[in-house]
Structure 1
Amino acid sequence: MVSPSALFAAAAPEFLASEPQHPSAEQIELHDGLLDRPAHIDPKFLYDALGSSLFTAITQLPEYYPTRCEDEIFQRHGADIARHIGPVQAMIDLGAGDCVKAERLFPSLRPSHYVPVDISADYLQTAVRRLQLSYPDLRITAVGQDFSHELALPADVPAEQRLCFYPGSSIGNLGPDDAYAMLRRIRDACPGGGLLVGVDRVKPRSVLEPAYDDALHLTAAFNLNLLRHVNAVLDSDFNVEDWRHVALFNSERSRVEMHLEAQRALHVTWPGGHREFKRGERIHTENSYKFTPQAFSDLLHRAGFRDVAHWSDTRGWFSVFSARA
């Protein structure tokens, strides 16, 4: 329990927001994706404030195994992981969300500087205010940033003491070329430092598909909320009730795909564009690639990492990799 004196002593967390993407740039990206065939929307648009809250709820579902598997790995192998990582001054938490995953590692990794990075700046600000009350001596610099194309970190931490933390199998949301590019950006941001990354593994369809299409339909709400976010950014006229959530495992590409499927023939408009959707036509909204340990280890080595080690849960459903940049 934090004492009242500690509450007053806690330093306010720093918050850095990168220059916001000009609205027209986001609008152009959405416009082009909606007119492509098949239509697609970048999964970063899933994470407005409501989307981030819904995803936090999804991680508590019985069908959604990645969070529990990753937690099991840290509980069973935390000491070995910490030894492999070595001293950490700054912990860079990529896609931090509510910051809970990183917070669970504070006792073993003992960072002196915590740098959560997330595209949902408002959600992140709320999270770090809560965190600062519990850890008044920890320096926190929150960064509101879309790091999908550029990773710009505070310059006042020696690079060799940086640990980039990329949990929850978020690396799987990227296609093979983009995943490689992301790992190269992380390596360039942490030369001499380290990477700790969660990776989802190949497993039966009967396990994978329910994790992305749960009985309570929270994942459906998460996916459909994307259309509300698109309406806000693009001034489009999507009606959520016209669409349904679809999740399927594409075994040839080793990925779970999420789509939104038109339930009737539709005409969607926005300033400067429009599109007809046939009944049953889909908008591709997210991929989640699944790896074998060897395949991901090879990817890390190709991206320039060394001293690669990994740990798995007891069922072999998930892996956590540690590597040196």
Structure 2
Amino acid sequence: MRSEAASPILAFHEELASDIRTGLAGPGQKMIPSRYLYDDLGSALFDAISFLPEYGLTRADERILRTHARDIVGRLPGPITVAELGSGSGRKTRWILEAIARRGSTTYYPIDISRAALTRCALELGQLPSVRVEPIERDYLRGLSEVAARRGKSDRLLLLFLGSTIGNFEPAQARDFIREVGERLKPGDGFLLGTDLLKPVPTLLAAYDDPLGVTAAFNLNLLMHLNRDLDADFDPGSFAHEARWSAAERRIEMHLVVRRAHTVTIRGLDMRIRFEERETIWTESSYKVEREDTARLAKHGGFDCLSQWVDREWPFAESLLLRR
């Protein structure tokens, strides 16, 4: 096996092990970073969530991209190379790529930790005329660093971070992340950033705890991911999915609530963890923002907010940022 193919996988598992030790063995609230929700099955379940009537975010994002793709691309003159953080299957990206391809050929770099999602993305979007797809199986920043090394010297880069994944970051982490993204881009590069806007609490809770239980399956699948990758013995039936709204922090929280006291063995880490009844593992945050928050975040990271598009049916925004 070639070392260059194995190294990102090895690094990912080392980070997973470190995050689980820190998040589950330490004192206080148990937590696991949300990126581990997105193994191959998790990515497929999230795609299913995006079709649920209660979860309007993805459809809002798609409406903006379908309606305004040519306008978005038109704000960036010259040849454009496209990269996308957390591309998944890339189904929303089609409109952007088609708009760019009308002007000439382009290369698209989907970045994701799910090999299955990247394979599907390459098969579907690789059929577009004048579009070359080069998948990158990495996390966000490592993948973007690879794009920086591969991209053409004269092309402008349009980086996509669609959906509202930035909302999964704590505010300080979001500022640091935007700054690190900016460090990997050149002046004049574009960054299309999706953000979910504030809306009524019942609407938010329904979006993250649907009656069909798809979001619950998505959350509980995290435990199966740990069982597989760390040789653990989590019983998903011993946990329940719960969505909570924190008004003070303006965020939805996803938790796995312990149904009964029990002990879990993680053989891959030589750990035994005791869980008490009603204790929770905090698995995801989703911050909701105002339009002005994005402009402030952009400025912190070395970007100007060039333009914003807001969906009327589901308060959601796509903001085009320009690297200074």
Q: TM-score, normalised by structure 2?
A: 0.90
| 1:21 equivalent in structure 2 | 10
Maintained 8 Å contact 2:137/2:143: no
Native 8 Å contact 2:24 2:32 kept in 1: yes
Q: Letter of the aligned partner of 1:152 in structure 2?
A: S
C-alpha distance 162-246 of structure 1, shift in aligned 2 (>3 A) = same
Are 2:172 and 1:174 equivalent residues in the alignment? Answer: no
- 1:101 counterpart = 2:87: no
How many Å separate the matches in 1 of 2:297 and 2:279?
Answer: 34
Please list the CA deviations of residues 5-47 of structure 1 after superposition, one character each: whole Å capped at 9, or x if unmatched.
xxxxxxxxxx988632343442222122111321111111111
* In 1, Cα distance between equivalents of 2:166 and 2:71: 23
Change (3 A) 1:16 1:95: farther
Number of residue pairs the alignment of both structures matches: 310
Question: SS where residue 135 of structure 2 aligns?
Answer: strand
Q: Tell me if the contact between 1:16 and 1:144 (Cα under 8 Å) persists in the aligned partners.
A: no
Taking the TM superposition and a 5 Å limit, the aligned residue runs for 1:1-325 are 19-22=8-11, 23-36=13-26, 37-110=28-101, 112-132=106-126, 134-135=127-128, 137-147=130-140, 151-154=144-147, 155-157=149-151, 158=153, 161-192=156-187, 193-271=189-267, 272-315=270-313, 317-325=315-323
Shift of residue 279, structure 1, vs aligned partner: 0.9
**Aligned CA distance change for structure 1 residues 197 and 185 (closer, same or farther; 3 Å):** same
User: 3-state SS of the aligned residue for 2:146?
Assistant: coil
Contact between 1:242 and 1:263, CA under 8 Å: does it hold in 2?
yes
- Please, which runs of 5 or more residues in structure 1 have no aligned partner? 1-14
Structure 2: give runs of 5+ residues left out of the alignment. none
Q: CA RMSD in A?
A: 2.0
Alpha carbons of structure 1 residues 241 and 143: separation in structure 2 relative to 1, 3 Å: same
- Structure 2 counterpart of 1:113, one-letter code: T
TM-fit CA distance, 1:141: 1.0
Q: Name the CA shift for 1:65/1:16 in 2 (closer, same or farther; >3 Å).
A: farther
Deviations 1:108-151 (A, max 9, x none): 2336100000011233123213332x225422111000126773
Q: Relative to structure 1, is the Cα distance of residues 222 and 159 closer, same or farther in structure 2, using a 3 angstrom cutoff?
A: farther
Kindly provide the amino acid, as one letter, of the partner of residue 278 in structure 1. Answer: E
CA pair 125-317 structure 1, distance change in 2 beyond 3 A: same
How much has 1:315 moved relative to structure 2? 4.1
Q: Using the alignment, how far apart are the partners of 2:252 and 2:86 within structure 1?
A: 20
- Give percent identity, aligned residues only: 33
Task: Tell me the distance in 2 between the aligned counterparts of 1:200 and 1:163.
Answer: 21
Question: Does structure 2 conserve the Cα–Cα contact (< 8 Å) formed by 1:85 and 1:322?
Answer: no
CA displacement 1:230-261 (0-9 Å, x = unmatched): 11122111001111000111111111100000
Report the TM-score when normalising by structure 1.
0.89
Secondary structure at 1:297's aligned position in 2? helix
- Please give the alpha-carbon distance, in whole angstroms, between the structure 2 residues aligned to 1:126 and 1:226: 22
1 CA distance for matches of 2:238 and 2:52? 26
1:253/1:307 Cα in 2 relative to 1: closer, same or farther (>3 Å)? closer
Structure 2 contact 198–289 (Cα < 8 Å) conserved? yes
